[in-house]
């Protein structure tokens, strides 16, 4: 079976470009696994874990939201930030969470921004804890 090509692009650089057997991405409404031969898809990502597994190299990364686009066995992921799980700055994430949680937000837009930041911080913490245990 044909292999998948995974490309992760951030505005700064292309962080990942490799062959893989399967990719699982954190979508807004839950995790989705992608194998070769997947239907063309555009999805919105939530902050969470991106897992790439293949014969050559497997890895687990934290992505900061963004998009995933699947076309003809090429999975392109556009995200603001992509870091390997073992390099997550746990302290910074905790700080961000604490700071955001105590801030008051009086408008609907602000609440949305706050929720997003909290989700990002929580996802980072969860992944950082998971990789350590």
Partner 1 sequence: MANPRALDKRRKSIRNIRKITRTMELIATARFKKAMERAASATDYTRRITKLVGDLTRAGLEVSHPLLEQRDATNRAVLLVLTANRGLCGGYNGNVLRLSVQRKKELDELTGGRTVIEVSGKRGISGLKFRGIETGESFTQFDDQPKFEQVEAIANRYLEDFILGRIDRLDVAYTRFVSASRQEAVVETLLPLGKLDVAAAAQPTRGATAAAQSESAQQDIYEFVPSAASILEEVVPASFKVKLFKCFLDAAVSEQISRMVAMKSATENASDMIKMLSRTYNRARQSQITGQIMEVIGGVEALKS
Q: Report the interface residues with partner 1, using CB under 8 A.
A: 9-14, 27-29, 32, 39-44, 65-67, 69, 71-72, 76, 78, 80-81, 107, 109-110, 113
Structure tokens at 12: 């700064």
> C-beta of 55: minimal distance to partner 1 in Å?
26
Count of CB atoms within 10 A of residue 128's CB? 19
- 11 versus 56: smaller Cβ distance to partner 1: 11
> C-beta of 30: minimal distance to partner 1 in Å?
10
- 55 versus 107: smaller Cβ distance to partner 1: 107
- 91 versus 133: smaller Cβ distance to partner 1: 91
Identify the burial level of 14 via C-beta atoms within 10 angstroms of its C-beta, where 0-12 means exposed, 13-18 middle and 19 or more buried.
Answer: exposed
Angle between helices 90-102 and 108-132 (to 10 degrees): 150
> C-beta of 110: minimal distance to partner 1 in Å?
7
8 Å CB contact between 76 and 69: yes
């Amino acid at each position: 079976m044909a292999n998948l090509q995974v490309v992760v692009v951030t505005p700064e650089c292309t962080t990942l470009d490799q062959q893989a057997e399967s990719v699982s991405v954190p979508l807004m409404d839950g995790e989705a696994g992608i194998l070769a031969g997947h239907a063309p898809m555009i999805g919105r990502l939530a902050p969470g874990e991106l897992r790439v597994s293949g014969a050559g190299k497997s890895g687990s990364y934290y992505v900061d939201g963004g998009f995933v686009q699947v076309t003809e066995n090429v999975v392109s992921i556009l995200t603001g930030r992509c870091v390997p799980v073992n390099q997550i700055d746990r302290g910074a994430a905790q700080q961000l969470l604490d700071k955001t949680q105590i801030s008051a937000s009086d408008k609907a837009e602000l609440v949305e921004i706050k929720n997003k930041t909290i989700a990002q911080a929580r996802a980072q913490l969860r992944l950082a804890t998971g990789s350590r245990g």
